[in-house]
């Protein structure tokens, strides 16, 4: 939900800012002269995630679009898959900024797989991904 006031806080309005019907998590918010821009993870029916961006020029009507080029799995982080480094440190991180012409997104994504001596069967590997539009 997004709350906004057009009269200095005397009255507030609230609108739904996401387009999904499941989990929408880890929101990041930015704005420019075109409006407010929200990026967030959306959990899909098969328990994968996508990064979605929702934009509004009036604070009430949002247009949403998928940012990720492919869905990726959520991962179990406790216990941590790399106990040599830390017990649990992987987070779900989303960032978005706008320079007024282009929006930029960075997010943690687990689509890649790594196989090593700790995980000979392989495991999903958290990496940072980037996109702009």
Give 63-79 pLDDT, tens digit per residue: 999 999 999 988 766 66
Place of tokens 């090593």: 116
User: How high is the pLDDT of residue 19?
Assistant: 65
User: pLDDT tens across 4-59, in order?
Assistant: 788 999 999 887 777 666 688 888 999 999 999 999 999 998 989 999 999 999 87
Q: Which pLDDT value is given to residue 82?
A: 65
For residue 132 the two structure tokens come to 């702009």
Q: What is the pLDDT of residues 105-133, one digit of tens each?
A: 999 888 888 898 888 998 888 789 999 99
Confidence of residue 95 (pLDDT cuts 50, 70, 90): very high
Residue 7's SS3 state is coil
Dihedral in degrees, nearest 10, Cα atoms 89, 124, 107, 92: -40
**Domain residues of the chain, as ranges?**
16-132
DSSP letter (8 states) at residue 18: -
């Amino acid at each position: 939900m997004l709350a906004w006031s057009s009269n200095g806080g005397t009255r507030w309005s609230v609108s739904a800012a996401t387009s999904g019907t499941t989990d929408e998590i880890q929101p990041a918010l930015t704005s420019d002269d075109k409006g407010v821009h929200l990026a967030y993870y959306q959990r899909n029916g098969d328990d994968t995630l996508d990064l979605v961006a929702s934009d509004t020029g009036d604070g009430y009507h949002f247009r949403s679009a998928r940012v990720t080029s492919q869905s990726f799995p959520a991962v179990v982080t406790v216990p941590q898959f790399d106990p040599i480094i830390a017990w649990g440190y992987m987070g779900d991180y989303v960032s978005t900024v706008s320079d007024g012409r282009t929006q930029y997104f960075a997010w943690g994504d687990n689509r890649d797989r790594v196989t090593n001596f700790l995980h000979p069967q392989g495991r999903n590997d958290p990496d940072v991904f980037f996109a702009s539009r």
